Amino acid sequence: MFERLHGASTVSFHLGAETCSIDLDLSPARLPAEALAAAEAAANQLVWRDLRVDARERSPEEMAALPLRKDAVKGARIVVVSGARDGQAEVEDASPCGGTHPRRTGEVGAIAVGRAQKWGAGTRVEFVCGARVLAGLHRAEERLARASAALRCAPAELPEAAAKLAEEGQARRKEVDRLVEALAAAEAERIDGSRPGTAPLAARIEGLLGTAAGLRAVAQALSGRGRVALVGGIEGERANLCFTRPRGPGPHLGEVLREAAAALGGKGGGSADLAQGSGPAVERLDEALAAAAARVSGE
């Protein structure tokens, strides 16, 4: 049906423990959701017509009379799906195959197309059939019920509820970012005021600002005030680092941070004026900051 409706030929197929798939020689961009639905519906119509499936060896004369979907390369076993349309016998599909087949299409029960994803230059389409369709439906219903219960809405209202939750979450993240930025500016002002001069500022930041994002906000606020900032903090079981300085001549902080992160048993790096990293040796954070400050002061 993909070939008949969309000109997409099957180049390979896979039988899996949970799903099956076919690989088509057409890109996903040319197989949107409506194309998948159309092929699924047409295939199911053939299933439900309960057509005869005849899989056997054919003579050269028989093969020549059949509308083969692809040439027989190994042997002459041809699977023919046929039925009556308007009182006339009609071959719906004829293809070489040495595999196992039902005697009639009705034995398939139903076909449900799942996801389609890019696979090489073409598309891999997953599907289930038979009892797996019913099992998949039950799993989907169970997931919908759990999601609906979590969002306290009816299953039919789930898309709108999820969209609203995502929108609210995005708004909250923006508000948190704004608060972190304001808190970082205040912390940068405090650190800068407590250590006047031009020496590099090495500081351990506690609490919310000790995260990777919080440290970056503080460090950039300090470099915006013309200072070299070497800040660190602890988040869970890792120590975070962020080093910044005003643009222009000066030490390469990416190299300095790489050494500091290595002292923490981790990795990191970046550009000359902005670098970040982390490591699990949280007990060595103060030592790593002091060593970084000594190196920067000596350059």
Helix axes 285-298, 253-263, angle to 10 degrees: 150
Same domain, 74 and 190: no
User: Residues near 114 by Cβ (< 8 Å), separated by ≥ 6?
Assistant: 19, 125, 126, 127, 128, 136
Q: What is the DSSP letter of 35?
A: H
User: Does 199 reside within a domain?
Assistant: yes
* Domain housing 268: 174-298
Same domain, 178 and 122: no
State the pLDDT at residue 99.
Answer: 85
Same domain, 249 and 184: yes
Is pTM beyond 0.95? Reply is no
Q: In the listed set 99, 117, 132, which residue is the last one of a domain according to the structure? A: 132
Same domain, 17 and 128: yes
pLDDT in tens, the chain (299 residues): 999 999 999 999 999 988 999 999 999 999 999 999 999 999 999 999 999 999 999 998 998 899 888 888 888 899 999 987 777 778 999 999 888 899 999 999 999 999 999 999 999 999 999 999 999 999 999 999 999 999 999 999 999 999 999 999 999 989 988 888 899 999 999 998 888 878 889 999 988 888 999 999 999 999 999 999 999 999 999 999 999 999 988 889 999 999 999 999 999 999 999 999 999 999 999 999 999 999 998 75
User: Does 198 reside within a domain?
Assistant: yes
User: Residues near 251 by Cβ (< 8 Å), separated by ≥ 6?
Assistant: 228, 245, 272, 295, 296, 299
User: Does 113 reside within a domain?
Assistant: yes
Q: Around 3, how many Cα atoms within 13 Å sit in the side-chain half-sphere?
A: 13
Same domain, 105 and 186: no
Same domain, 182 and 126: no
User: Does 159 reside within a domain?
Assistant: no
User: Does 167 reside within a domain?
Assistant: no
Beta-sheet pairing, 20-24 with 238-244: unpaired
Helix axes 131-151, 158-194, angle to 10 degrees: 50
Same domain, 110 and 211: no
Number of compact structural domains in the chain = 2
Find the CATH number of the domain harbouring 249: 3.10.310.40
Find the CATH number of the domain harbouring 28: 3.30.980.10
Rounded distance between C-alpha atoms, residue 183 and residue 162, angstroms: 31
Same domain, 124 and 6: yes
Same domain, 58 and 121: yes
Rounded distance between C-alpha atoms, residue 227 and residue 243, angstroms: 11
Same domain, 10 and 121: yes
Alpha carbon 209 to its chain's center: 29
Q: In the listed set 132, 154, 184, which residue is the last one of a domain according to the structure? A: 132
Same domain, 107 and 17: yes
Same domain, 126 and 234: no
User: Does 149 reside within a domain?
Assistant: no
Q: In the listed set 103, 132, 161, which residue is the last one of a domain according to the structure? A: 132
Tokens of 78: 């041809």
User: Does 11 reside within a domain?
Assistant: yes
User: Does 110 reside within a domain?
Assistant: yes
